[in-house]
């Protein structure tokens, strides 16, 4: 029987048990559905996943309990920045199954996955930056993805075991909001090969912070190391006068205080520059297009902090 997570109901069968989410002890547990649909027991595909992931040096999850805080835009700009060094090999895996925005943000709209004897090939932005997303599989970009947990789990597994990622310095995983199927699946599949850590994204207001606290709790329960928290959209910077004004008021102290309260590293704040959204719409690197923006300087400082943690 697999161990029960912390604060689980009495007689919890454990997240990996065949009875997870189905036992009488599971009734009323908020994670009942997630446990019932998550993969359980010895998985015959795990050796294949471990083999693929054995050539990946760092596996980074970009997480947030809250939607709309800029996980995908941060994933994009982080990956662009890491790949700026042509000797650094970077992969991006988009597991936001129902809202795959990564292809557009990398300028890869309309691209399709190619197969070879070694498996699926990532779609490449540059020679050292490859991307995998369900967005490359859809016949129409506007098609709704109406999938239950097991089908989502199956696609995530395919991304890990069937994609020929090759030798990577970084695999950056963009995730949907919350702590449910997709998150449990990627943690389960990467358990043996190891997750380097999670980068948590929030905005300054309390309504976002309260969900990110849940994400911190999730990481600790499933034993994902937390690299740190990033405060996104921390004020608006005028592109002309460089003046800054608060858009999402940090009424409870913002991400810096939350990080201190939860003993998590605070990586930094990124001001809201409207050109970030424009760059993402156009599939461009904001950091290269607008090197003098205060947001670019904030991004680069945060990326240096992340590298320090990983070194």
Query: For the chain, which domains are there?
Result: 1-41 (no CATH), 43-310 (3.40.50.300)
pTM listed for this prediction: 0.86
212 and 121 in contact (C-beta within 8 Å)? no
Q: What is the pLDDT of residues 213-239, one digit of tens each?
A: 999 999 999 999 999 999 999 988 776
57 is in an annotated binding site: no
68 is in an annotated binding site: yes
C-beta pairs of 135-144 under 8 Å, 24+ apart in sequence: 135/94, 135/100, 135/101, 135/102, 135/103, 135/104, 135/108, 136/103, 136/108, 136/111, 136/112, 137/112, 137/113, 138/100, 141/109, 144/98
In this prediction, residue 40 has a pLDDT band, given cuts at 50, 70 and 90, of low
65 is in an annotated binding site: yes
219 is in an annotated binding site: no
In this prediction, residue 54 has a pLDDT band, given cuts at 50, 70 and 90, of very high
107 is in an annotated binding site: no
| Average pLDDT score over the chain | 91
280 is in an annotated binding site: no
70 is in an annotated binding site: yes
29 is in an annotated binding site: yes
12 is in an annotated binding site: yes
59 is in an annotated binding site: no
Distance (Å, rounded) from C-alpha 71 to C-alpha 186? 17
69 is in an annotated binding site: yes
In this prediction, residue 141 has a pLDDT band, given cuts at 50, 70 and 90, of confident
283 is in an annotated binding site: no
207 is in an annotated binding site: no
């Amino acid at each position: 029987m697999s161990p029960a997570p912390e604060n689980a109901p009495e007689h919890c069968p454990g997240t990996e048990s065949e009875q997870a989410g189905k036992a009488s002890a599971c009734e009323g547990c908020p994670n009942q559905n997630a446990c019932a649909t998550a993969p359980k027991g010895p998985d015959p595909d795990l050796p294949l996943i471990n083999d693929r992931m054995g050539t990946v040096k760092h596996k980074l999850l970009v997480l947030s309990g809250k939607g709309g805080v800029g996980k995908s835009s941060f994933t994009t700009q982080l990956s662009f920045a890491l790949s700026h060094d042509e000797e650094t090999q970077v992969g991006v895996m988009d597991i936001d199954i129902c809202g795959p925005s990564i292809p557009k943000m990398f300028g890869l709209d309309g691209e399709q996955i190619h197969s070879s004897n070694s498996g699926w090939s990532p779609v490449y932005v540059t020679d050292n930056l490859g991307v995998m997303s369900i967005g490359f599989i859809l016949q129409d970009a506007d098609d709704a993805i109406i999938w239950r947990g097991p089908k989502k789990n199956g696609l995530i597994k395919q991304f890990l075991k069937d994609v020929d990622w090759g030798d990577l310095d970084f695999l950056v995983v963009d995730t949907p909001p919350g702590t449910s199927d997709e998150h449990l699946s990627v943690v389960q599949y990467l358990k043996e090969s190891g997750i380097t850590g999670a980068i948590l994204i929030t905005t300054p207001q309390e309504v976002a912070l309260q969900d990110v606290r849940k994400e911190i709790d999730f990481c600790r329960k499933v034993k994902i190391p937390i690299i740190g928290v990033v405060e996104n959209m921390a004020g608006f910077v005028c592109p002309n006068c460089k003046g800054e004004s608060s858009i999402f008021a940090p009424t409870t102290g913002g991400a810096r205080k939350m990080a201190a309260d939860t003993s998590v590293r605070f990586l930094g704040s990124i001001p809201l520059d409207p050109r970030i959204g424009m760059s993402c719409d156009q599939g461009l690197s904001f950091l290269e297009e607008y090197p003098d923006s205060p947001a670019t300087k904030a991004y680069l400082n945060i990326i240096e902090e992340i590298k320090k943690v990983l070194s």
